[in-house]
Every structure is written in structure tokens, then in C-alpha cells.
Structure 1
């Protein structure tokens, strides 16, 4: 019993020791020709760095002929980078003959870009297809174009360079400029490669993480007659403006007519008011002896005679007089 207890304690301590010290990983590194000390592996454990995340990429880099140290990989891991992807990118660049240092690859990875994909795109260019871009030529005809842009990653400009969205936007702007400067849409249909030439001459890849190799126009379709539609809309707008002005003039005429009627009614009211004062004045003249009875009757006769003449004139025919000699007699 006394001998078995120390043996159990020693066994437990050995199990804990070997679980903390990655002896198997150390042996694998030695077999691959990578010199990593036990103390370095223990230090990784203490710094909470999984030793396998450092040793396995280091073995790959050493076998590929790339000189790296465990301190470089550990520092990149502690900075939040993807060590395995950086090492794979370095191996791919080394095999393709692309100059890429560990510092540059680590900076690209920490910038949030996929450095391995960038190296692969440098070897195998990528084709970006733009959406349908609509533009109007000078003759008013709309053209809808679609282009395929072949780009290659520029390793030197990956940090701080613009992405695919910027390239697509610039190519679309170049297509619109080229079509808009054409005198006729037929020129673009007859020579669609003029779009590619004009866009390539603008140097649209400046400031981006890519290098544009070619721009190929995939399709050009004829759209609407924008010029005729704009002229129709302008004519309709002019028509509505003219109608509004005519309605304004009509409203002003109606208002003026109503104003005149009000003035006439006011004048008639004044005449009626003045006529109402005539009997009073005549009565006053009769009382004062300024007007005799016979004078009053003469005035009444004159008024009656005037009323009769107005009635006869209203009953008389308005047509032209007959020139028949029989009817004339």
C-alpha cells in the first residue's frame, strides 16, 4: 500500500506533465528538421498559444524552403492573424515566383483580406462581370451594355487599395461616358470594342487592389428612345402650362365681368334712387308754385308717349325690308 501510493502520484504527475508539455509535437518537429525547444513550447502554453497552430505551419514552411521563425508566427497569431493561411500564401507565392515577404503577407492578412486568395488571383486572373449599364447616345437612343473585366490582384496595393465594387463602378462610368459621347447609337453597335479601348485608356485600376488586364463587351442591346420620350414629356408640360395660363386668363375675365356687373348694378341702384327723388321734387315744386298742374300733365303725357314709342319699337320686325314691288304697294 505504501509503495503503490507514491507510484500513483508519480504517474499522475507524469500524465499532467506530458499533457502540458507537447512532447509528441516536439518529436514531430524534430523529425521534420524544425528546431523548436521544449521550453519554447511550454512558453506557448503559458502565453495561451496552441503550439500546434505554430509548429504545423512552421513545418510546412520549412519543407517548402521558406525560412521562418516560431517567434514571427507566434507574434502574428497573437495579433489576431491566420498563421496557416499566411504560410500557405507564402508557399504559393514562392512556387509561382511572386516576391512576397512574410511582413507583407502578415500585413495583408491583418488588413482583413484573404492573402492566399490574392496570391491565387495573381496566378490565375479573375473575371468580374458588370451589371447591365444603361446609357443614352447623342441621338437619344438608349443602349444597355454588359462587360466582363479580367483583373489580377496587385500584391503591392492590397493594403489600402479599393475592392471589386470600385472597379465595377469605374467601368460602368466609363461605359456611360463612351456611349454618351457617341454621335449615334449605330456607331456603338457597329464598333463595340470602342468601349473597351476608351475604358482601358482611362486607367481605372489606379488606387485599387487589382490590375485590369482586359475589358470585353459581352452584350449591347438597344433600349428606349429617350430623346423622343423627353420631347413628348416637354410638349405635354408646355401644354399644361398653356392650359394653366388660359385658365388664369379666363378666371381674370370672369372676375372682371363680375366686377363690371357689380358696377352696373350699383349705377342702376343709384338711378333708381335718383328716380325716387323725382316725385318728391315735383311735389315740392307744386307746393311752392314753381310747377303748374298743366305742366305736370304735359310731363306725364310726354312720359306716356315715350313709353308707347319704346313698346312699338320692340314689337317692330327686325328683318330686312322687302323689295318686292307688289308687297311694297
Structure 2
């Protein structure tokens, strides 16, 4: 009997030990629960009072996934208070995708208040594409003014030339409104500036006289707006305003002067070429003259031999020889007298040396 009692007491002691262990574990779990409850209590109260619908379990789940639950709850409360219905998991997904949840939420709220259709998914896509979605919404509500050309690029004016050759320097201001549906994949401000600049240059180039542009700069604006330069861009061009027009250089006269100088250089080169050809021809003729003189001297050297041969052969008599000599002497005398007369005439040609 005593042994049975001792066995029952031992079992009771073991039972009490397990009870104590259970109570300790339950106490620890309860303490952890209380700590978590008090940690999330304020946010849960705010969520419950505003109707955001984010429970403590949801917050613990976000904490375990390393999500900034405080920011998510605050943005969900802001969206609900603004009347925008967005699921909590959509906010978490955007946060985990490295998106800017506060700015995206602010953009959605601003678009909703302005009557612009901007669902959360589209706003999140714009934000993840690297665009400033909040600035895009503001620009859609309040159009933005862009300077053309962009002063930050180092260019102060757009230079164009009218048909009369006068250069005009223009500054323009382009008012644009963001197209949210084209913000992802649409061309940016740089494209708008480039296209408007091209349109202004084209419009000035079509003007017959620079005075027409000075008297009525709106012809540039009308021409540019009619081109539809905002196609495939993230903006609608509201207006193009010409801020300043200055008269530059007379490009046409400068080009004509440059062309005349080029023509002069070509003519001088051609004249020099002809002069060089004439000098070469003169030298060639002189060489031929000297060659013919050498032949003449060679031929004259054969005359005495021919006369001697004729005398020996009896084909030429002595009297004939003296008559030939007299004829030669008369010819030389006439040549000498003619040369002396030419030297005495003022301005007359000089005899050959």
C-alpha cells in the first residue's frame, strides 16, 4: 500500500513539473504576444479607426518579410482617407520591387483629387520605370514650361536663316502637359526640345524675308504647332511662345563673298597655269630657234666647200665667183644700213644682236 502511494506521489510530482513547464512556455508566449501587441497596438488602432483594414497578423507578416510595415500602414491610411481603394498586398509588392511607395501613393491621391484616371498599377509602373510619377501628375494638372533651347546645354539661342540670307536668333518657351498613358515608353523633354528647335529652324527657313518674322513671330508658333511634334512623346504641346528674336549675321552676303573669293582663287590658279604654259612654250620656241640657227651655221659652212668643188669641176667660172662675192657684199651692206636706220627711229624695233 505504501509503495502504491509513493508511486502516485511520484506521478503527481511529474505531472506538476509538466504543468510548470507548460505554464512557463505559455507565459513566455503570452509575454511575446503582449510585446508584439503593444508594439503594433498604436498602428492597429489607427488602421482600425480609419478603416484601412490592416491587422496585427498582417503587420507581423510584413515584419518577417522585412517590409517597412509602419510606412505601408501609414500610406494605406492616407489612401483610404483620400477615398482611394488599394490592396495592402499591392503596396507591399511595390515596396519589395524597390519602388517609392510614399511618392506613388501621393501621386495616386493627387490624380484622384484632380479627376485624373490613374490606377495604382499604372502609377507603380511609372515609378518603377524611373520616372517621377508625382511630378508627372503635377505637370498633367499644371502645365510645365520648357526653355528651347535648353540653357543647361550651353546653347542660348536657336540660329536659323531666312530665304534672304539674314540670320535670326530665337528663344522659345514651350508649354507642355504630361500624358500619363504615354509616360512609360514615350519620348522625354529632350525630344520635345529637339523637335521644337527643328520646327523653328524650318519655319524661319521658309520665310521669304526676315522682316516678316520680326513683324509677326506668331507665324513660327503656328507653323510649329501645325507639325504635330508631340507625337509618340510623353507630353502634349499646349503652346509655343517666341520669347525673343534677334537679327544675326548676313549669312547670304558672307556666303556670296566666300564664293567670290573662291572663284577668284580658281581664276588666279587657271591664269597661273596658262602663264606657266606660255613660258614653257616660249622656252620651247627659243630652243627650236637655236636649233635652226645651228643648222643654218652648219649649212653655211658647206657653201665654201661647194664653191671650191664647182670651180674645180668647171661648173662655176671666176667671173661668176666674183659676181657672187659682189652680190654678197651688197647684201651685207644693205642689211647694215637697214639696221642702222632702225636704231635711229625713236620707239622703233631694235635690230637683232
Range class of TM-score, shorter chain: 0.7 to 0.9
Q: Deviations over 1:48-92 (max 9, x none)?
A: 434344333223223323222221122222323212211111111
Kept in 1: contact 2:47–2:73 (CA 8 A)? no
Structure 1 range deviating more: 82-91 or 165-174: 165-174
Kept in 2: contact 1:57–1:87 (CA 8 A)? yes
CA distance in 2, matches of 1:208, 1:154: 8
Shift of 1:155: 1.0
Shift of 1:291: 6.0
Tell me what 2:147 maps to.
129
Q: Deviations over 1:163-190 (max 9, x none)?
A: 1112122222222222222222222222
Pick from 127, 135, 140: which aligns with 1:117? 135
Tell me what 1:192 maps to.
217
Pick from 170, 181, 199: which aligns with 1:156? 181
Tell me what 1:307 maps to.
332
Tell me what 2:84 maps to.
66
Shift of 1:195: 2.0
Shift of 1:44: 3.6
Tell me what 2:152 maps to.
none
Whether 1:91 and 2:116 are equivalent positions in the alignment is no
Shift of 1:119: 0.7
Tell me what 2:154 maps to.
none
Q: When the two structures are superposed, what TM-score results if normalisation uses the length of structure 1?
A: 0.80
Q: Deviations over 1:104-162 (max 9, x none)?
A: 10111111110000011112211112132222222222222222111111111111111
Tell me what 2:43 maps to.
28
CA distance in 2, matches of 1:221, 1:182: 15
Give the direction of change, closer, same or farther, for the CA distance of 1:39–1:226 in structure 2 (3 Å limit).
Answer: same
Pick from 193, 202, 209: which aligns with 2:227? 202
CA distance in 1, matches of 2:174, 2:37: 50
Structure 1 range deviating more: 126-135 or 97-106: 126-135
CA distance in 1, matches of 2:268, 2:105: 76
The 5-angstrom pairing of residues 18-57 of structure 1 reads: 24-25=39-40, 27-33=42-48, 34-57=52-75
Pick from 256, 266, 275: which aligns with 1:250? 275
- Secondary structure of the equivalent of 1:214? strand
- Secondary structure of the equivalent of 1:143? strand
Q: Is there any run of 5+ residues in structure 2 with no aligned partner, and where?
A: 1-24, 150-156, 346-353
CA distance in 1, matches of 2:336, 2:40: 135
Kept in 2: contact 1:26–1:36 (CA 8 A)? no
CA distance in 1, matches of 2:173, 2:341: 94
Tell me what 2:8 maps to.
none
Pick from 235, 254, 259: which aligns with 2:284? 259
- Secondary structure of the equivalent of 2:131? coil
Cα RMSD for the two superposed structures: 3.3
Q: Is there any run of 5+ residues in structure 1 with no aligned partner, and where?
A: 1-9, 321-329
Kept in 1: contact 2:221–2:242 (CA 8 A)? yes
The size of the alignment, in residue pairs, is 309
